[in-house]
Amino acid sequence: MNECHYDKRMDFFYNRSKTHTADEWSGTTLVIVLCFGTFFCLFIFISNSLVIAAVVKNKKFHFPFYYLLANLAAADFFAGIAYVFLMFNTGPVSKTLTVNRWFLRQGLLDTSLTASLANLLVIAVERHMSVVRMSVHSNLTKKRVTFFILLIWAVAIFMGAVPTLGWNCLCDIQTCSSLAPIYSRSYLIFWTVSNLGVFFIMVVVYIRIYMYVQRKTNVLSPHTSGSMSRRRTPMKLMKTVMAVLGAFVVCWTPGLIVLLLDGLNCAQCEVQNVKRWFLLLALLNSVMNPIIYSYKDEEMSSTMRRMICCSAEEKNQERRSSRIPSTVLSRSIDSSSQYLENGISQGTICGKAST
């Protein structure tokens, strides 16, 4: 009967896998990685929060596609949380972790990847429904969109918890992988092959949808009325999704291939030398998505700019009002009335972001 090692700390497993975490993640290297990681995580939190707020605030975004886009931003926000947790539990600290804490660290990363991947799959379904009807948005109801969003997170949490639930090598230490010392190699093979397979399917589906939309748009444009911008809107949305999918595949595929090689027990591949850089590449995906949204979608970009400008203007008004003595305010009724009128007019301008 195999001995289980639930009570061991991670140094036991790292030593078996010959992973020198203390040497690779120390000194100047650790400081540089932490500085870049902190900057990227702050950007992830702020930018994806702006995307979610823009979808909530602007009524033009109250459609299934943008609800799912906001959920994708929420998945990126969650990825930022996972990377922050990783930063405080990596390097020399890795070897001091308990098995459960290490499972939590990796489970957060796996959950964020699954949430993004499942979200892109649902967006593909939504885009297909809208393409069939040749409309800008699908006829998915809010209840169905809510159901899909809840399903996405349920699947993501379950997939992130699978190793904790038993698919690990704690009781069969000979099957442990190198990059993930308490994940069994069979699980890594399943995880990477399934994700890469979904990547391939999504790329094919999105290319087919994109070509169908382009063909239909070219055929119908000379025979349909309406503004040119409205006819091009479905194509713009498809270009946005294609850019997001492309960035996702480029950022995650190298890391998944390395995990696959580790699962196949490739001793000559030297996967330990590239793991940290591919992890940073995966982090960049959550940084790139908000940039793609704002660059590809003019309405999203203008809404985010108005939110930032109005927030800055409100802070400036608060500072100016705090500097005005109460005695001056009581003696300057006309000036204060004019100030209030200016504030109301500014509030009207800011309010345009929600219309």
- Per-block mean pLDDT, blocks of 10 residues, the chain (355 long): 80 76 60 82 93 91 90 94 89 86 93 92 82 71 91 94 91 87 92 90 83 72 52 68 87 90 83 80 88 82 85 66 51 46 47 48
Position 222 scores a pLDDT of 59
Q: How far apart are alpha carbons 343 and 316 in whole angstroms?
A: 11
Q: Which two tokens stand for residue 354?
A: 């929600």
Residue 306, C-beta contacts closer than 8 angstroms, at least 6 positions apart: 350, 352, 353
Specify whether the CB–CB gap between 307 and 63 falls below 8 A: no
Determine the Cα–Cα distance for residues 161 and 139; give it in Å rounded to an integer: 34
- pLDDT for residue 141: 83
Spatial CB neighbours of 71, under 8 Å, sequence gap ≥ 6: 119, 149, 152
Tokens of residue 255, six digits: 């890391």
pLDDT given for residue 16 in this prediction: 78
CA angle 20, 26, 32 (to 5 degrees): 125
Q: What is the pLDDT of residue 328?
A: 45
Q: Which residues contact 49 (CB under 8 A, 6 or more apart)?
A: 77
Q: What is the pLDDT of residue 98?
A: 92
Q: For the chain, how are helix, strand and coil distributed in percent, rounded to 5?
A: 80, 0, 15
Q: How far apart are CA 163 and CA 86, in angstroms?
A: 17
pLDDT of residue 295: 80
Q: What is the pLDDT of residue 345?
A: 45
CA distances from 230 to 8, 136, 300 (A): 61, 8, 16
Report the alpha-carbon distance of residue 61 to residue 245 in Å, rounded.
20
Q: Measured between alpha carbons, how far is 317 from 327 in angstroms, rounded to an integer?
A: 19
CB 23, CB 272: distance < 8 Å: no
